[in-house]
Amino acid sequence: MNFKDFGFDERLLEGIDATGYETATAVQEQVIPYILAGKDIIASAQTGTGKTAAFLLPIIHKIISSSNGHDDHINALIIVPTRELAVQIAQNLEGLSYFTSISSIAVYGGGDGASFSQEKNALSRGADIVICTPGRMIGHLAMGYVKLKHLQYLVLDEADRMLDMGFNDDIMKIISFLPPKRQNLLFSATMPGKIRELARRILHNPEEVNISISKPPEKIVQQAYVVFDAQKSALVKHLLRSKDFKSVLIFCSKKNNVKDLSRDLKRSGFSIEEIHSDLEQAMREQVLAAFINHRVRILVATDILSRGIDIDNIDLVINYDVPNDGEDYVHRIGRTARAETDGTAYTLINEKEQNKFAAIEELLGKPVTKTPVPEQFGETPAYQPRSGRSSNKRFPQKSRRN
């Protein structure tokens, strides 16, 4: 479907063209007509489906074609779980609205006092579209200068992620500042019961759209290594040296693991960078930009980077820790093999993580190949999860403990 068919304003069509979008994606085709018609939406759609433009485009169109817009108030509020996602949406918005008079600001904190007062100024003046992380927005709301009286659109993006991060109360608090009559759009990669409950409290008669991709693309080569925890770091080094990978993303579940592994890799001569929540916001943005531009080849990160971040041409993802659930696994390995490129995803499983990994295999509907660890690593544990599928049928002899 062509974007002209939505009846978008010419200035917006120019921005879409300049961004390089030719036809609408599935989620855009389904969601945009509902938003234009003023409906509330609950959409299950993951990053990579084009969900951001699915809500940005109709909101921009409605704001620029509305005669009762309020220049000095906030028209749309987009709440997102992470600063990285806020920045990415702001950049997307900037491109799409380039030929319009839309004003916007991303409010995500983590910076210094100067950025807080910059945000304060913008929020006091009003901006058409505000993209925010919950905690930072609450900080501003508490001071009383945020102009939300004429707000028309509320977007909750990656709602499941926000609830997982404990933002439920913050979201409800922000909503208590909004006028009751408004259009609500909720996007979530998964639809667990708690999201339904949130939707029931916030949305009015929503239209439901389902574009979930809960399986990773077939072209990603997935392999797992069953090891003792103490063997993980050495195995990562071995894997990094095994092939000339151009761009590698290593995920750890905890920031301390990111720090420890990064230190160890640097000590062994690898040129790497790291991203986790202890890093200053400016530094995080700098590192991410260097990785996206391929100036940094290997990046070690927490799950901060598993969702919502659009980086092309990563050819290897390593799960140093098994992610907490299947959706996170799909998100993490989905960072590779985007667009036309192929990708490889290795997961390192220690004894404690075996049950968790078995549950992930359950969600995938098939076992992930367990690749034998090279002999020089010595003894390794057997894959014997208590529940879920056991997928070690090809390499049961790997255990050399008895």
User: Is residue 336 close enough to count as binding ligand AMP by CB under 6 A?
Assistant: no
User: Is residue 51 close enough to count as binding ligand AMP by CB under 6 A?
Assistant: yes
User: Which residue, 58 or 381, has its beta carbon nearer to ligand AMP?
Assistant: 58
User: Is residue 310 close enough to count as binding ligand AMP by CB under 6 A?
Assistant: yes
CA–CA separation, 156 and 269 (whole Å)? 43
Name residues whose C-beta falls within 8 Å of residue 149's C-beta, 6 or more positions apart in sequence.
73, 179
User: What binding mask, one character per residue, do residues 202-241 give for ligand AMP by CB under 6 A, x or -?
Assistant: ----------------------------------------
For the CB of residue 32, give the shortest distance to ligand AMP in the complex, in Å.
10
The SS3 call for residue 115 is helix
Q: What is the CA radius of gyration of the chain?
A: 23
User: Is residue 53 close enough to count as binding ligand AMP by CB under 6 A?
Assistant: yes
The SS3 call for residue 324 is coil
User: Is residue 24 close enough to count as binding ligand AMP by CB under 6 A?
Assistant: yes
Position among 34, 35, 41, 49 found at the interface with ligand AMP (CB under 6 A): 49
Neighbours of 48 (CB within 10 A): 18
Walk across the sheet containing 104-107 and list its strands: 104-107, 129-132, 76-79, 153-156, 183-188, 41-45, 207-211
User: Which residue, 112 or 312, has its beta carbon nearer to ligand AMP?
Assistant: 312
Burial degree of 140 (CB within 10 A; 0-12, 13-18, 19+): buried
User: Is residue 50 close enough to count as binding ligand AMP by CB under 6 A?
Assistant: yes
Structure tokens at 288: 């991410």
User: Which residue, 36 or 178, has its beta carbon nearer to ligand AMP?
Assistant: 36
User: What binding mask, one character per residue, do residues 25-44 give for ligand AMP by CB under 6 A, x or -?
Assistant: x--x----------------
Q: State the residues that interact with ligand AMP by CB under 6 A.
A: 21, 24-25, 28, 47-53, 92, 310
